[in-house]
Chain A
Amino acid sequence: MNKLLQKDGNLPLFYQFFRKMKLTILIVTMSILSSLSAETYSQTTKLTIAENNSTLLNVLRAIEGQSEFKFFYNEKVDVTMPVSLEVNQKSITEILDKVLSSTFVKYKVIGRQIALYDKGEMEPFMSEQQGKKVTGKVTDSSGATLPGVSVVVKGSTIGIITNMDGAYSLSNVPENAILQFSFIGMGPQEITIGTLTQINVTMVESVIGLEQVVVIGYGTAKRSEITGSIGYLSSKDLKEQPHLNAMDNLRGKVAGVNIFSNSGTPAGNNMAIIRGVGTINSSWEPLYVVDGIQMTSIQYLNPTDIESAQVLKDASAAAIYGARGANGVILITTKRGGKKRGTNVEYTSQYSFGTVIPKKNSMYDPMNSKEFMEVQKISFDNAPYFKTYPAGQEPKLALNNDLLFDSNGNPRYDTNWKREVLRTAFSQSQQLNILSASENSSAGLFLNYATREGLFLNSYSNTANIRFAYDSKLFKWISIGTNIRITPITENDAEIMMGGARSIYQFPPIFPVKWPDGTWSNSSQTQGTNMSFEGLMNPVGRLLEEKRLINRTQLFGDFHVDVHFTPHLELKSQVGINKELYKFNYYLPKSISLGAAEGNASKTNSETTFWQNENYLTYNRDFGDHDVTFMVGASWQKQTYESSDFSVYGFSSDYMQDYNINAAVKYNHPTSDYYDWTMNSYFGRGSYTYKGKYSFTATSRIDGSSRFGKNNKFGFFPSGGISWLVSKENFMSNIKSINLLKLRTSYGISGNTEIGVYKSQATINSSTVLIGGALQPSSTIARIPNPDIKWERTAQFNIGMDINVFNNRISFEGDFYYKKTYDLLLDRPIPETTGFTSVFDNIGQVSNRGVDILITTRNIVAEKFNWTSTLNFNFNKNRIDKLGQNNEDIFPGPSWVDGSQTILRVGEPVGSFWGRILYGIWGTAEKEEAAKVGQLPGMKHWSKDSKITGKGYPDIMGSFINRINVGKFDLMMDLQFSLGADILQQFNVITEGRNALMNGIKNQLYNGWTPERQNTMVQMIRNVNLSGQEFHPDTYWVADGSYLRGNLLALGYTLDEGLLNKLHLNYVRVNVSVQNAFVICSPDLKGDDPESMGFYSKFGQNIFEQQYPKPRTYSLGLTVQF
């Protein structure tokens, strides 16, 4: 509904042109108009209206509902006046003549816009030959003409809307008047006319399009009326970068949404955390809602399918998802069918190649053969230093192996495993969208095929994506829609060790990739020497011959019905099904096996089926100053999981592999698993806005889950929020520098249900045990029951401000939040004398407090040159407030060597590293002191006890994005930064601590302790086999994890219309980009990239194994619309 509001009593401003329409759609719609005659539309469109004893407002709404007509009027037009109207298949002029005949309201049809005005006023678009005439053209920042822009003389009723070419012409403009230009989604502009007669204006996109309608979960709302904290992302934001992974594309775009890209594998390994870690045992990941259907991950969603994304951060927004909302909610809306009649085809093609980023400090590169042998020699020479040998029996390096060493004992090979294992990775993606629309229906077919290579040889992921979306208005009061998606993904999860690059660093360089006889080398082939290495399979052999094939298939479908009982009351009912099939086929061939070469095959299958039914009624009515929306609904969900697993070994050849496991002579016990869970919820939301200035929202949800104890199946999650659009107040009208000021605050409670099944029950685990040479049934009691387990709750307070100043040149959006999660669903430690080590209970509390900041500045706004900068970041402080009954420390893992590498301790953040302090290396002068703790000079000088040595999650994470448009060129520079996290370099023990047992980095040789070089943190070279080794995670392993990443540098060029017309194309865009161009991080970091996760455990954030390297990717893309 469109209303020409008066601000200063007689100043009309155009507000809210379109409901439920976003900027892009608008532009498309407007461009359609250029091909149609506006007059034709108003003459040919026939409408049927039946509004008895109604109001003028309802009639206008009915017309808008059936057609593309939009009304504008000011407050002198009393739309609440009672009217009655029944017409059948009449044109707009016939209808308006009839309904307005008995009133003082006059109208004027301009294309699809209809202005209503009081008879006493002058006709708004008539020139009366007083004052001067001003003409001009309005364009957007890319230079495209903008139709539909409102041009108004400030303080008068004189105004017009730009035509299809973006041109306007205003007559009767007083001298020294000010022209106001406004358009949805664009920052309004004011220009003093002075002596000018031609004024061309470039509109710049507004950060906060107040009138933009956004998805908020079970409905939509105007941004101006939202009381919560919501992050927005449009397809435009996503379009600028190459599409690899939906999660990558969200990265750095919304303050408070921290996405950790933890691996460089083709499938990626991303983790999203919104406003800090608010739970311990339950899932940390936000809830994803794709087109209304809840999901736990969007990793395999086709990124080009995303139309827009909204992030619900605070309780006012997220509490509508109740028990699944505590970690925040990411709402994804996918693209739908055509918006204009006929068929439209868009093709996007993208090619990219990724390369290894060279290491900055060569000391952190693996040693070559010469260096490697030097370490061997030193380690043998040092052996008597660590252990007393009988005279003459001191170990001496013996190298009697002709394959590895020449007659002088020099290594024959010097293999650079890094070079052998890594490659330039080529990837491509082809997307074809076919959109079509007719009078009452629209359909869209979205096809994508993408192949992605990882930097490791033979590591790839191939994805096909077929999606069909269909919407139809069956009758004027009922519409339906469906969305069907099939996504098969084939991934070779090629790895060389522990999911990362570890064997690049470990595998001795003295081995060839293949022996002259064509067989793969392995690290145990040291016959004739007295070197003994840790047994490692040949990394190249593993990549090429080991099979680790993952087949995933996602089948997704949803169907929804919208019933409009009245223009104000709507029922929406939706059913969605998501089925994920997972298959892992594994074969370890005999050709690369170490030890017993038997051929090992395994097959793992799992199937997860989820269905969801949601029904909700929405009532929305605008009573002039009072805008009211109510929504109530109910939801049912069920997930079923089943899996099976077989593994066999003892093949006579490598031929059959997993294709025929019957061919193997031995097998391990097969396994299977099953569980299901259900949820049933009732929810409601009421929102009320008074005079467009004061908004109130209250939501509540009652969730019932099968996973909770008998006594606490249901949980209640309320929230409330208020916002105040201060800039709409009269007293603000004189403060010209402030264009927008909005204050909002909210409080509410959401929950977390992502715990395992049966946690409240005592159950018996059944298995088998070896007795008498055969397996016998066995059973164990799984846990102590706790029927009182209830929902984990997160109470969140949010206060935020949106402000735009200096003609919208600077806009600021800031939120402070305090999030307290209590009744933590925790594996509460209990005395082990009970027979159990923990019971699942609601105990403990974690809090997060922080700020989200988004600042956008329009540095240069000119016709052909625009420069916009956006800085967004989240500052978060995480703290464990309470744990267990006695505030016991909890060691949640990941566990290694010295037990858990992290600790949960009251007063400290989640993800704190646990280890010793390394004071240095014992010096020659400290021999006696060292002896007291069983150490020698050259060995590590540690603190006695373990302490907290760092933390894995950052304090500040954000991005700084610059966009520059010059003519048809657009340039984007996206820098991302993270501050305050630490990195626990666990690989240190491999690369520096296991001297001579395998290869390592050069640092151990060139900076290792010697009597001559005592001022170092690197231990003296000692042969692990002869002299042992020792290690604790210590402070030397910890490096500063802060970084600045050149995330994306993208340059695009859009062909101009002239050329397009000659080519008979609608739109052509070419873009080139570099992703991950550079990373600036601590010089102490010996790994490749400052972001990684150890052991795939959420507690393992920033605990580094030698990770799968992340490429620097160069891309070239082309988009064509026919």
Chain B
Amino acid sequence: MKKIIINVFTVVIFILGITSCSDFLKEIPKNQISVDQYFKIPADARSIVNTLYSEGVPTFYNSGDWEGTPMMLDGYMSGLFDNARKERLGPTEAQNLTLSPTILQDYMFSLWSTCYNAISQSNNALKYIPGIVGLSQSESSKLLAEARFFRALNYFYMVKHFGDVPLITKPYGSLDSINVERDADKKVYDQITTDLEWALNDGGLVDVPFYMNGFRITKGAVATLLADVYLQMAGYPVQSEGAYSKAAKFARIVINSGQYKLISNGATPKESAYNVMRTSNTEREYIYSYECDPQLRTNNSPKYCVPMEHKPPFCIYESPWNAYRPLNEFVRIYNPDVDLRIQNSQLWHNKIIRNGVTYDFNGDWAAYLWYDEKAIYETGRGSMNINIYGYAEVLLIAAEAIARSEGVTPEAVSYLTDVRSRAYWETDRDQIKSELEGLSVDLFIKEVWKERLRELPFYFKTWPDIQRTRLYPVTNPNNSGEVNFENVVGHTNPWGATFKEYHLLFPISKITLQRNPNIIEDSYPN
């Protein structure tokens, strides 16, 4: 009897076991939130927009390690900059113009995926934020404006570097219609300017310098990007009509806001404006920066500005290296007799003097703007923000755009004079001004280009200028400061490689082409 009872009992347990609750297999994430539960409260809107500050293009200024940052690849492409540590392939393949859809395919793929990932985040923000209950109209607009700013920033990089790229403005929620085609660069530019103009006019953004707005996007940042975008559109390959006047218009919005000014030089070269840029994060000159922090986000640049073989003792970086070495062909754009920027320890340096000992770079130059002594000798953690747009660039955009659209006006001359006279620290401003006045538009513009080359190498404008002007700056070994512009196509760079037209864009990665047969690389030979 007992046996029977137990037998029945076990069978019951067995059956119960088999038919236990059906929720057993339900998957409920706890360390992540499912999308259905998200985009419900205002905090969700802020979080997704916050992400954009450190995704996509801004990260190109602070990543890459041995091969330098993706922004430096622009410099290597020009052939005018070198990465002394040729361990990774990017610099070499770019300098030798040997890149192709297969060579540097991982690199190119990563540029695409990083930008489109940020674009996708923006698309999500733009789609979901308007539906969030409890978000004030003004905050909603601001967040949407920031999302549009970042979408534009990423598309601008893509269109500048790859030409026709697919224009995606809605987030993907499934795998439907993922094999898109390339859209004309013009169309992409139109979306960029639409986004930025919306942000400028309807975003309700404040008009104060970046650092005063808690390092969030301002009206000035949007207008500056717009001016830059129109300047680029005005040139090759789009050559958009009326773009110069648009560029002038938006540059003027920044200039006339009265919020920005160039840092002035102090009494000694040690207190120059360039040394202030090197050591201060809060200046009215900075319009948009990538924030860094020794703990929360280290700036990697300090290790790029000490040549390994001339490393002073107690350098914290085990292997610093000269990752953004200007070639002599570039250094000669400066006239060392008048230009502060090419004096040692201004924008560049050619030796380090530390504790009374000189560590001479044997004729090489390295970036000095990134020379963060605390990071290099004490903490190993770079703390300076990386400036992506500055006021000097706005002035130079304005000078060029006004000259192109209105002629060499006193206004245009004054903007160029502002930038140049800061650098020619011992030259009288009026003398500089008078030399510029009376120049033809063509000559004046060339002066602007030279100033861009000299002033903006750390904003990585050398290559975009070559892309839009299709002119290559050629210096004179016997006359530093003299720069001539020659057709880039057919020009041979200092590495002995000759530019073909397709080199003005990066190749589309074979990986991208394989994934989407609708995308076609039609210029690079493979």
Contact = CB atoms under 8 A, between A and B. Distances in A.
Interface of A: 389-390, 393, 395, 475, 477-478, 524, 527, 530, 532, 534-536, 561, 563, 565, 571, 573, 594-596, 613, 615, 617, 634, 636, 666, 668-669, 672-680, 682, 704-707, 713, 757-758, 760-766, 769-782, 784-786, 829-837, 839, 884, 886, 888-889, 891, 895, 897-900, 931, 933-934, 944-946, 1023-1026, 1028-1032
Interface string B265-309: 000000000000000000000000001110111000000000111
B516 A831 contact: yes
B208 interface: no
Contacts of A784: 172-175
A834 B178 contact: yes
B517 to A, nearest CB: 6
A891 B106 contact: yes
Contacts of A779: 33, 38, 44, 47-48, 50-51
Given A534-B319, A573-B10, A777 B30 contact: no
Given A677-B27, A833-B168, A895-B106, 10 more contacts: A530-B310, A713-B25, A764-B38, A770-B292, A773-B215, A780-B48, A785-B35, A933-B98, A1025-B308, A1026-B309
A771 B292 CA distance: 9
B157 to A, nearest CB: 14
Given A596-B316, A781-B121, A831-B179, A761 B29 contact: yes
A675 B291 contact: no
Contacts of A389: 362-363
Contacts of A1023: 309
Contacts of A763: 29, 32-35
Interface stretch (B84-92, B240-248, B433-441): B84-92
Contacts of A775: 296
B256 interface: no
B29 A837 contact: no
B113 interface: yes
B96 interface: yes
Contacts of A1024: 85
A967 to B, nearest CB: 53
Interface in B86-142: 86-89, 92, 95-96, 98, 102-103, 105-106, 109, 112-113, 116-117, 119-121, 123-124
B136 to A, nearest CB: 18
Which of the listed residues B11, B32, B173 has the most CB atoms from chain A within 10 Å of its own CB?
A: B32
B7 interface: yes
Contacts of A770: 53-54, 291-293, 296-297
Contacts of A535: 317-319
Which of the listed residues A707, A835, A895 has the most CB atoms from chain B within 10 Å of its own CB?
A: A835
B309 A530 contact: yes
Contacts of B180: 831, 833
A617 B14 contact: yes
A126 to B, nearest CB: 43
B464 interface: no
B514 interface: yes
25 contacts: A389-B362, A395-B309, A478-B6, A524-B315, A527-B313, A563-B6, A571-B11, A666-B295, A682-B18, A766-B47, A770-B54, A770-B293, A770-B296, A776-B46, A776-B47, A778-B51, A785-B35, A829-B514, A830-B178, A831-B178, A831-B512, A835-B168, A837-B113, A891-B106, A946-B102
A570 to B, nearest CB: 11
B478 interface: no
A836 B118 CA distance: 10
B175 A596 contact: no
A834 B172 contact: yes
Given A833-B166, A897-B88, A769 B6 contact: no
A617 B10 CA distance: 11
Contact of B121 (A675, A780, A946): A780
A1109 to B, nearest CB: 25
Nearest to A765: B32
A934 B116 contact: no
Interface string B416-431: 0000000000000000
A757 B29 contact: yes
A563 B10 contact: yes
A769 B54 contact: yes
Contact of A897 (B34, B89, B311): B89
B30 to A, nearest CB: 5
Which of the listed residues A477, A534, A764 has the most CB atoms from chain B within 10 Å of its own CB?
A: A764
B86 A1030 contact: yes
Contacts of B98: 933-934, 944
A884 B516 CA distance: 11
Which of the listed residues B44, B55, B124, B515 has the most CB atoms from chain A within 10 Å of its own CB?
A: B515
B212 to A, nearest CB: 11
A132 to B, nearest CB: 55
Contacts of B6: 478, 563
5 A-B pairs with the lowest CB-CB distances in the bound complex, closest first: A535-B318, A835-B120, A595-B316, A899-B106, A1028-B86
Given A535-B317, A771-B214, A778 B50 contact: yes
B520 interface: no
A1024 B515 CA distance: 38
Given A766-B33, A778-B47, A390 B25 contact: no
Interface string B177-214: 01110000000000000000000000000000000001
A771 B296 CA distance: 10
B195 to A, nearest CB: 17
B104 to A, nearest CB: 9
A634 B11 CA distance: 13
Contacts of B296: 669, 770, 774-775
A636 B175 CA distance: 33
A32 B172 CA distance: 74
Contacts of B25: 678-680, 704-706, 713
B43 interface: yes
B47 to A, nearest CB: 4
B461 to A, nearest CB: 26
B17 A615 contact: yes
Contacts of B35: 761-764, 781, 785
Contacts of A563: 6-7, 10
B252 interface: no
A674 B308 CA distance: 43
Contacts of B14: 571, 573, 615, 617, 634
Interface string B58-89: 00000000000000000000000000111111
B362 A945 contact: no
Contacts of B11: 571
B468 interface: no
A676 B171 CA distance: 29
A393 B363 contact: yes
B216 interface: yes
B32 A1030 contact: no
A527 B311 CA distance: 9
B496 interface: yes
Given A889-B511, A1026-B309, A833 B178 contact: yes
A597 to B, nearest CB: 9
Given A771-B216, A831-B512, A897 B119 contact: no
Given A617-B14, A931-B496, A1029-B87, A706 B27 contact: yes
A891 B511 contact: yes
B24 A678 contact: yes
B521 to A, nearest CB: 14
A839 B175 contact: yes
A151 B307 CA distance: 88
A367 to B, nearest CB: 20
B378 interface: yes
Nearest to B295: A666
Contacts of A773: 215, 291, 293
Nearest to A761: B34
A1001 B378 CA distance: 34
Contacts of B87: 897, 1029-1031
